[in-house]
Amino acid sequence: MNTARLFLLYFYLSTITELNNHYLYHMQEILEKAIQIAVNAHFGQTDKTGAPYIFHPLRVMGRVSSTEERIVAVLHDVVEDTSVTFEDLVEAGIPKHLVLILRILTRKVDTPYEGYIEKIGENSVATAVKIADLTDNMDASRLPKITEDDFTRLQKYSESLRYLKSISGIK
């Protein structure tokens, strides 16, 4: 390989690395903003055990890998459970492609649960976040006692988890 080609290859790889580093830094800033949005939106909310609700999205965030998955995970209940809208998220600087994934994860009242889960299965980020969400929601150790309703809900979550894991190749 001649010197000119080596220089071009080096320049190309350096540029790609620099762009990648910039993207990662930018996404880290967005993750910090997403955490702030979630903390503010869920302020004062509690779960069934009386613990601050924000612990749930933070635990879900801790169960996923990529920065994009973490952003979606920490925001996954914001629109569904608070007054924050998808438009608010875009205005706050959350990338539109991540807001679209949040739309997939936000179940509409008139959407059957099975169809909702199938739609989630069509997007890898939504699938990863929903698997983490279901896994956290199925942790019965946080419940003081398991009621009949809890048992029914846990069964439904277990079936959904099994389906999403099977289509994503997770065992």
Dist CA 94 CA 75 (whole Å): 10
List pLDDT tens digits, range 81-116.
999 999 999 999 999 999 999 999 999 999 999 999
Q: Beta-carbon neighbour count of residue 73 at 10 Å? A: 29
Contacting residues for 46 by C-beta, under 8 A, at least 6 apart: 52, 53
Which CATH number applies to 3-168? 1.10.3210.10
- The conformation of residue 152, written as its DSSP 8-state character, comes to H
DSSP conformation class of 48: T
Half-sphere exposure in the Cβ direction for 118 (13 Å, CA): 5
Q: What is the pTM of this model?
A: 0.86
Q: Domain residue spans in the chain?
A: 3-168
